[in-house]
Structure 1
Amino acid sequence: MSVRVAVVGAGAAGLCAARHLLSKPGTFCTPVVFESGTSVGGTWVYEELDEPIREKGVEPEGPERPEGHSRYRSHSSMYQNLRTNLPKEVMAFPDFPFELHLNSFLPHHEVLRYLQKYCDHFDVGPHVRFNTAVERVRPVVMETTDGKQRTEWEVTSSERSGSERTERFDAVFVCSGHYSVPHVPEIPGLQHFRGSVLHSHSYRRPEPFSGQTVLVLGARNSGIDICMELSTVAEQVFLSHRTPRLSFPLPPNVSQTESIDRILEDGTVALQDGRVLKADSLLLCTGYIFTFPFLHESDLGIDMQRDFVGPLYRHIMSPGFPSLFFIGLCQQICPFPHFHCQVQFCVAVLEGAVSLPSAPVMQQECRAWLEKRLSRGVQQRHLLRMEHEQWEYCASLSAEAGFKPLTPAIRSLFEEVWRRRREHPLQYRESNYRLTEEHWERAPSAGQRELLQAKEGEEERVI
């Protein structure tokens, strides 16, 4: 009997899951992909906002939504001028490269176009139910004729029209992402701040901050990028963070500061080193939280907190319910290749090509992993950061499931760009690359290629 699979979300991870399920029609029924929005692409779908600056308010954490915020849409975190911080050569799904003529670092609309082409190429589109929100995913445990237990998944969904239905599936891929609900840190006295407060999730362009003094909290990738963009229009930008001081040169109107301690009653900002600043706007580049309002902890026997889900076997599945797969929970990774590996491992599990240990053994492995991380002093909110561990992880998935591993050149180029981004955060995107199975090399940009082609044409005419 063919396996019935539901996929929650039609972003990059959901499209990848559907693509690989569709590649095995003898094993799987055509998947049902539930997408709350109107198009594929997930977080790469750029949306304008009516209020580029939210006056003295940010969206709440958790599944609750502000009044008027539809559950059929969770607006994107893309800002207008965003460019990828990884080159297309390592971003791509290994079985579907980006167009060669494009520069390595792309504007967000090119990534969306790529995902749309991926969807079309693998004929995923007909299996996506748009404007359909998943309300509940619940395990239903039944006894088989031989006395064993098997789990089916009851998926309740609702359409924008108001109609609701409940269906049964043999497995569920959770591909709903974790870049839609902002993490708003607890800042004592935040209500006293007299300017505008917003999360980077709602940032779209720098112009509304023209001539202002802006305090940016957080110095990871988005914080640094937005800070640099704001420096072109703001009078002064303060980059507030607790990480080690950035060693590269910053624009003259950008200053690094300690993290925020509290907001004083007069609206000024007290820093942890005792300094006090006055700012017109406070921009929170403080990341996102996990939220799966359609799942209940009590059903699954796993810990589902805003900064951690698990521990999960292979960072993918609950030992008690190994037919519910979380794709893309890990952080600090090369996303699309990571999804590619996780999905193929899950497909192999459903096919029976991978034999999972017993539930107690999986639980013991999960506990051992968690205890090891905690004993090293890893904070809970950083438990799922993989960074350099991602390569061994993906290699182990491919070895166990028998699919082609990622090429060494992907890791090599990823690490080269990681290094260059730390050393040259303003210039690293000017480079272009070319990738082979084993190596990478620098390549001319699209503009440089046009100049070279024009020059070659002139030389041919002279000859």
Structure 2
Amino acid sequence: MTEITVVSARSAPVRSARDQEQAGAGRPRHSSDLLTITRSMPPRAGKLRVAVLGAGAAGLCAARHLLSRPEAFYPPVVFEMADRVGGTWVYQECTGIYDNGWPIHSSMYRDLRTNLPKEVMMFPDFPFDPELPSFLSHQDVLQYLESYCHHQGITPHIKFDTMVEKVQPVTGMTGKRKITWEVTSCRASGGQQRDTFDSVFICNGHYSSPYIPSIPGLEHFKGLVLHSHSYRYPESFAGQSVVVLGAGPSGVDISVELAGVGAQVILSHRKPPSKCLLPTGLQEAPPIEKVLEDGNLQFSDGSLACPQVLLLCTGYRFSYPFLDTTSLGIQVEDHWVSPLYKFLLPPAFPTLFIVGICKVICPFLHFDCQIQFALAVLDGTVTLPSQGEMEEQIERETEQLREAGMELKHLLNMDSSQWDYYQTLASIAGFKPPLPVTKSLYEEVKRQRQKRSQQYRELNYRIVSDTQWELLEMQDSDQGH
């Protein structure tokens, strides 16, 4: 039997593999920092045992790469709350909670189509069906993820209907100090289990916990207040007056859907007015300033509206209820998680990886790069800087963004900067970076989206080579590469 002890960042900081050797067992810890339990530990034989939280796109990608490295890693254990793979791509008509009391994770609405073409959305080693159009339905994406899971042999390693309740670091007290992780989970059918791992990949996504902005006087609003997390289809709003707050991809798409069934829609946002022709029944307004005592919404230009529905398309907040983030030295705010070295791992605990927190990215490609970097850290290919050096670098990079005028809630928006990020991860970890054609096509689609926000999904593309793509269908003669 091996005695293991729960540790925290304040009681036994973990730096890097290099620094752990120098640090030894660390300073004596106060008894209030420790929780001692006893468990039989499986033999390591040089391999690492990894837990993956979530069987959406990021979790499946992590499992795929772990399974491809049997010499370094045991088959992963994937914890999935639902009864199938796909994460946020699983459409659920019901909203709120399941019969068992667990929250419904997905924010998918019925008629969603991707705003990125499949040619840049795919995992690098697993293309979509070439017969599909470039812009896909959520059903197409879910089927792709199911095929990926089957092709990579991931399903036998997934614990379905299982919720992770707690993830905490522990350290073995025999020989050299080594951080491991205890994962406490429960089944939908009942029963709790504890498992010990060398590393944990958190792949639970960040599109399930709605962000509700602070609107002065909101309690006075007399109509229905709804977040897009609970929106599924437009027909139930036909003929109603709706104010949609937020002009991100979902806000724009939902506004167009609502106008299409005869709703009178005001799209409220702080962006410049759209240069595109808006559908009948849809108009724009500046941000909501407050709700008056009579229930009217007042916009920042002083104009008023009294809609039947206020639909908040205001995004989502980060949520990790299974982590004691304070003891891990991680600050989690609505739109920001820090410190995470390379937007991925906390410097104090470099065997914990929070995958995919960045926004405005090619998500599947993003996951693929991050996970390959993480595995290079675990297998020793990458030697991390010390904890202090990583923290200083994060602070310096964050300050540079803030000095450039970027708001805290936008610090994780990558967009065109994602390509340098992937190149950096690939250079450090020694894997192949994304092909140049991916960046080229991504930037072209962004241009088309700005130019024809309602028609860009009618276009279809094909990858010709590592550096070239071609347009298969076009509405007019403006083609340009």
Task: Judge same fold: TM > 0.5, yes or no.
Answer: yes
Aligned equivalents of 2:101 and 2:208: distance in 1? 13
Matches within 5 A, 1:119-268: 119-142=149-172, 145-146=175-176, 149-268=177-296
- Out of 432, 435, 440, the position equivalent to 2:469 is 440
Contact kept in structure 1, 2:185 and 2:192, CA below 8 Å? yes
Q: CA deviation at 1:391?
A: 0.3
Task: Specify the alignment match of 1:449 in structure 2.
Answer: none
2:79 aligned to which of 22, 27, 34: 34
Measure, in 1, the Cα distance between the counterparts of 2:120 and 2:370. Answer: 16
C-alpha deviations, 1:77-105, integer Å up to 9, x for none? Answer: 11111100000000000000000000000
Identity in percent: 51
Residues 68, 189 of structure 1: CA spacing in aligned structure 2 closer, same or farther, 3 A cutoff?
farther
Deviation at 1:220, TM superposition (A): 1.1
Using the TM superposition, give the Cα deviation of residue 387 of structure 1 relative to its aligned residue in structure 2, in angstroms. 1.1
Q: Pairwise mapping of residues 385-400 of structure 1 onto structure 2 (< 5 A)?
A: 385-400=413-428
SS in 1 for 2:350: strand
Residue aligning to 1:70: 101
Aligned counterparts of 1:373 and 1:144: Cα–Cα separation in 2: 44
Q: Who is 1:378 aligned against? A: 406
The answer (yes or no) to whether the contact 1:214–1:234 under 8 Å persists in 2 is no
Q: Distance in 2 between matches of 1:352 and 1:325?
A: 15
Q: How does 1:421-436 map to 2 (within 5 A)?
A: 421-435=449-463, 436=465
Q: How big is the shift at 1:328?
A: 0.2
SS in 1 for 2:351: strand
Q: Partners in 2 of 1:271 and 1:81 — Cα distance?
A: 30
Give the secondary-structure state (helix, strand or coil) at the position aligned to 1:377.
coil
Q: Which residue among 129, 133, 152 is the counterpart of 1:99?
A: 129
The question of whether the paired residues in 1 share the 8 Å contact of 2:87 and 2:105 is answered with no
Moved over 2 A (4+): 66-71, 141-146
Distance (whole Å) between structure 1 residues aligned to residue 440 and residue 98 of structure 2: 47
The letter for the 1-side match of 2:309 is: S
Partners of 1:19 and 1:30 lie apart in 2 by 10
d(CA) in 2 for partners of 1:70, 1:120: 29
Structure 2: unaligned runs, 5 residues or longer: 1-45, 475-481
SS of aligned partner of 2:226: strand
Say if 2:111 is the partner of 1:81: yes
In the alignment, structure 1 residue 340 sits paired with structure 2 residue 385: no
Distance 2:174 2:346 in 1: 21
CA distance in 2, matches of 1:406, 1:293: 33
User: Hey, what does 1:25 align to over in structure 2?
Assistant: 70
Moved more, 115-124 or 271-280: 271-280
Asked if the contact 2:172/2:178 (under 8 Å) is kept, the reply is: yes
Equivalent AA in structure 2 for residue 118 of structure 1: Y
Q: Which residue identity lines up with residue 470 of structure 2 in the other structure?
A: E
- Report whether the alignment pairs 1:2 with 2:47: yes
Question: Which residue matches 2:478?
Answer: none
What CA distance in whole angstroms lies between the structure 2 residues aligned with 1:364 and 1:311? Answer: 10
Show CA shifts across 1:135-154 (max 9, x none).
Answer: 000011345625xx321001
Is contact 2:267-2:283 (8 Å) kept? yes
Aligned-residue offset at 1:311: 2.2
CA contact (8 A) 1:138 1:299 kept: no
- Give the letter aligned to residue 69 of structure 2: K
SS for the counterpart of 1:134 is strand
* 2:182 match: secondary structure: strand
Residue pair 2:339, 2:347 contacting (<8 A) in 1 also:
no
Q: What is the match of residue 455 of structure 1? A: none
| Offset, 1:299 | 2.2
Distance 1:127 1:237, change over 3 A: same
Measured after TM superposition, the shift of residue 196 of structure 1 is 1.4
Q: 1:318 to 1:144 in 2, by over 3 A?
A: farther
Shift of 1:403: 1.1
Q: Judge conservation of contact 2:100–2:188 (CA < 8 Å) in 1.
A: no
Q: Distance in 1 between matches of 2:263 and 2:334?
A: 36
Q: Is the 8 A contact 2:361 2:415 kept in 1?
A: yes
Counterpart amino acid of residue 35 in structure 1: E
Paired amino acid for 1:100: P
Letter in 1 for 2:155: G
List alignment gaps of at least 5 residues for structure 1.
51-58, 60-65, 446-463
For 1:386 and 1:69, the matched residues in 2 are separated by 38
TM-score for both structures, normalised by structure 1: 0.90
Deviation, 1:298, is 2.3
- Conservation of the 8 A alpha-carbon contact between 2:161 and 2:188: yes
Instruction: Give the drift of 1:234.
Output: 2.8
